[in-house]
Amino acid sequence: IDLDELCFVRNFRGDSESKYRELDLQMVRAEEARQSGEVPGTLITFQDLSRAADMKFPDKVTWFQDVVRGLRVPWEDGHMAIRVRRSDLLHDAQEAYLAMEADEFRKYFRFEFIGEPAIDAGGVAREFYEIVSSQLFDANNGLFMSSAINQTCMQINPASGLANESHLDFFRFAGRLMGKALFDNHLVNAHLVRPLYKHILAWPMNLHDLEHLDYDTYNGIMKTLDMDDVSILCLDFTCEEERLGSHETVSLVPNGGNVSLTNENMRLYLERQICYRVAERTKEQLCALLQGFYDVIPGSLLSVFDFQELEILMCGLPEIDMADWKAHTVYEGQYEAKGAQHKVVKWFWEVVEEEFNEESRARLLQFVTGTSGVPSQGFGALQGNDGNIRLFTITSWPLAQGTFPRSHTCFNVSHPIPYPHPKPNPHHKPHHKPYPNPDPNP
């Protein structure tokens, strides 16, 4: 089975006036997906979007911000005052954002912490978004949970409804909060899993996206692909969900408990696992989040970015301490004996330090760890999918098995190619610039 052909895109239906029950989301094959070529409220055409998508990232950001300025309501035509209590910030912020009409998010916002006189020239707004996003995406609230492979990235908790009866209001609020932060060029203090960025952009999903959501299921599926006869596993078209201590059997197809997995229906099994894991199990929450996001920014306008760029745009470029990075790197394979003195390793760090800019370093981190974020304690606190410390690791990869870099995001492992050239030119260095849009092999 060619896994590259098993790609699906979410098709979201709903607008700012839709009730939650009226929203819908279906997964369709990538070749059948359609994206709007118009940006409501502008004269932008499909050709304009295509040209912008081909720009370098800094130019693309400038283009995007110029378009956003054209969508903004002038100050003299009305603005919004957001007054919140620091002691109950998340509650007040949610009430304020959900009380607004969608078109009001294009107005200027001025924030005030009640009892703390201050003029909001940007600093209060930055503090508001930093604190609110930290609280909203805190796993203790039960709305979001950590990624299966990176404890610093958050995914939707399938059991959020059990933790909070008003969970869909919170997800719409989350969408509006992130959308408004992006609209006003503020950062959110939370990194999302890759599939969520792809959903926002309506990007194709494949089997490897499951790794970020449910590593055990993903790993089990990958092992079945190496088997000659999958029927000996005695699997069927169901999966087990555990939600706050209760167990539920979910059918992936009608009457899935009576449909045995065979080599003949393996492709259908993979398709259903992809669609269920990346979208259907959190469909209601995902719909509310997308509705909130698009209340602020048209989805078609975001189409000029890829999912890595969207993360950087929303969360900012990380402050990377190269000395800390190198000090907390492990070397394995043929690099283990000489470590940082191995010629390929020297080339690797030379490129990262001297030739990569901040954006390229962030993309390298995304390629190897799954996110551009660095733990607040530094590279020494990088974790794997099991929650244990997994330092950034550089290990060898046989040149005969391919000339492109690979990574294992669940273990923070990079595989630079051991080029044999004694004095390589830039094309022969392990210069994986800029690690564009990878779907790393597991």
pLDDT in tens, 199-246: 999 999 999 999 999 999 999 999 999 999 999 999 999 999 887 677
Average pLDDT along the chain: 86
Residues 413-427: what's their mean pLDDT?
Answer: 52
Q: What is the pLDDT of residue 409?
A: 58
Active-site residue list: 410
CATH architecture entry for 46-204+282-315: Alpha-Beta Complex (3.90)
Q: Choose between 126 and 121: higher pLDDT.
A: 126
Phi, psi of 314 (to 5 degrees): -85, -35
Domains 46-204+282-315 and 322-415 belong to one CATH topology? no
Q: What is the pLDDT of residue 116?
A: 82
Q: What is the pLDDT confidence band of residue 314, given thresholds at 50, 70 and 90? A: very high
Identity at 189, one-letter amino acid code: N
Least confident of 285-289, 331-335, 406-410, 433-437: 433-437
CATH architecture entry for 322-415: 2-Layer Sandwich (3.30)
Place of tokens 């040209």: 51
Closest CA to 197 of 109, 301, 291, 308: 308
* Homologous superfamily of domain range 209-278: Hect, E3 ligase catalytic domain (3.30.2160.10)
Q: What is the pLDDT of residue 405?
A: 62
Q: What is the pLDDT confidence band of residue 379, given thresholds at 50, 70 and 90? A: confident
Place of tokens 């908790």: 157
Is the per-residue pLDDT at 16 higher than 90?
no
Q: Is 268 exposed, middle or buried (0-12, 13-18, 19+ CB in 10 A)?
A: middle
Residues 179-202: what's their mean pLDDT?
Answer: 94
Q: What is the pLDDT confidence band of residue 78, given thresholds at 50, 70 and 90? A: confident
Least confident of 64-68, 85-89, 360-364: 360-364
Joined tokens for residue 108: 């200027």
Q: Choose between 419 and 52: higher pLDDT.
A: 52
Identity at 70, one-letter amino acid code: G
CA distance 158 to 144: 8
Q: What is the pLDDT of residue 386?
A: 55
Is the per-residue pLDDT at 420 higher than 90?
no
Q: What is the pLDDT confidence band of residue 250, given thresholds at 50, 70 and 90? A: very high
Q: What is the pLDDT confidence band of residue 1, given thresholds at 50, 70 and 90? A: confident
Q: What is the pLDDT confidence band of residue 427, given thresholds at 50, 70 and 90? A: very low
Closest CA to 237 of 227, 228, 249: 249
Q: What is the pLDDT confidence band of residue 247, given thresholds at 50, 70 and 90? A: confident
Q: In what order do the strands lie in the sheet with 406-408?
A: 329-331, 392-394, 413-415, 406-408
Residues 173-177: what's their mean pLDDT?
Answer: 98
Q: What is the pLDDT confidence band of residue 412, given thresholds at 50, 70 and 90? A: low
Ordered by start, the domain boundaries in the chain are 46-204+282-315, 209-278, 322-415
Q: What is the pLDDT of residue 429?
A: 42
Closest CA to 211 of 201, 222, 202: 222
Residues 6-11: what's their mean pLDDT?
Answer: 95
Q: What is the pLDDT of residue 277?
A: 96
- In this prediction, what percent of the chain has a pLDDT beyond 70? 86
